[in-house]
Structure 1
Amino acid sequence: MISMRFGLGFVALALGPMAAQAAALPDPPWFKAPSFADFVAAYPEGPKAAKVGGRVELDCPFLASGQLGRCDVLSEKPAGQGFGAAARKVAQGFVGPTELSNGRTIAGSHTNLVINFAPDMLDQAKVAQPLWTALPTPAQFQAAFPDAASKAGVLKAKVVMTCTVAPDGGLTGCGVASEDPAGYGFGAATLPLAPTFRVKLWGTDGRPVVGGTVRVPIRYDLQQVTDQAAAK
């Protein structure tokens, strides 16, 4: 849940951890990552028909371009169902940095990838655990607060947007799933904030993010501003 306290001048937010740049690159800052469509296209036919999931761990070398070379399969469950080959194919969609934090080329460095194929992604592209890398500022949230609501003394509201994650991690095609209370314009006022959100391109759960639908719950609370004004 995204929350804000206007009177305190900050937004309490849970941002996803920033990717570390190290020689081993356990969690690289991906500039491009495979999408839900890539996963569906690579999903082995047998398991796809049977709605069976699979988990693969890969060890992948970086090329000078930031792309991944041929990955080695460290583990594959269940084995013999084609998930290893499918994971290698999906891994071709990753592009990371071209340099390490020390300025040296990334070529030759390795990273481990966990790739999860889940039957639910065949029917719906849903990002269950988005990791936010950018969010609106407190000033942007405050500016979005509808005048009609503040004039009516409505100081708190909840809005949920649903959006699609773009290839760059931005949000597109956003709509208002719910707003409470209704009738004060909170949903319409929140939609223009969508371009300021960014999502990490690859989740810690080994599932795709790009092309998926993400819920963005936002809580407005203007109470602190009112309380401070009354105290003066």
Structure 2
Amino acid sequence: MGGFMLSVLLAALLQAASAPPPTPAAPGVITNPDWQRVPTAEDISRYYPKAALEADLAGRAVLSCTVSAEGRLVGCSAATAWPEGAGFGEAALAMSEVFRMRPETRDGQAVAGGTVRIPIRFLMPANLRSAPVRARHAEVVSEIIELDCRFQGQKLDNCFARGGSPKASEVALKVAGQVTLPTLPTRRQQGRIVLPLVFTDASGAFAPPEFITQPRWRERPTPTEIFRAYPEMARAKGLAGNAVIDCKVEARGKLADCKTHEEDPAGLGFGGAALTLMPKFELDEVDSYGLKVQGRRIRVPVRLSSARPQTN
């Protein structure tokens, strides 16, 4: 398993387009950190709990840390960790030394202070991927959820849900515990599998959801192009920002009718800057589920920072 490329999802770095609006932050809480360094796949492989890796367990933890004047994370604690006792809280704490944030400044001098919460997900690549499975539920129609679960024989556990609404994720996770897998094309008795659930209407019909949640990108802007789009209004404050752009997909995967859906912080030009990048995006004609994308909509998250991208 040492060759596995492991991934981390840092919700503090990039908010999902479907996330609920953030609640007002308490004084001293950093809600929009400007990261100079985050863990790489190699870092995460090094810190991943060995027993969890051998058991094909994925996990998550939330770090709560203070930021030093040098941008290091200090005084960290694992606010939550799941599954309990699997070592993910300890792994996240150990990995906190890797992070570097651009420190806050006052009168041109770096100052310490401020706390940040960092949700982290440890997830190894799946060994298998299932064909989409149709499901029905009165409260979920025309949505697709991907379950990433551990399989042990024909049963699933340790599941994470990706895509769709919070309700669809809730239903899918409940369904996972009731699934009995067919004979799998592997001799492994344990591993990880991705199971897409397609929620149909009462008749069993499925209309592609309006929003594309699993795009296949043909073209995307380069890190340098994203850097050049950084808004001048934000430069004076030295702030990074996020924007989510809502677009319609036209022929050949081109984006049109784009508008700013969210921007944070507001009023510093991050939405407008992200809009200038939309002509650089181009989708394949079908998404990851084989559904046509033309005529549907997509919400594209963009993070903009004054930090110059690294070049080889």
Settle same-fold status: TM greater than 0.5. Answer: no
Which structure: greater strand fraction? 2
> What TM-score results when the alignment is normalised by the length of structure 1?
0.44
> What TM-score results when the alignment is normalised by the length of structure 2?
0.33
Which structure: greater helix fraction? 1
* Structure with higher RCO (Cα < 8 A, 6+ apart): 1
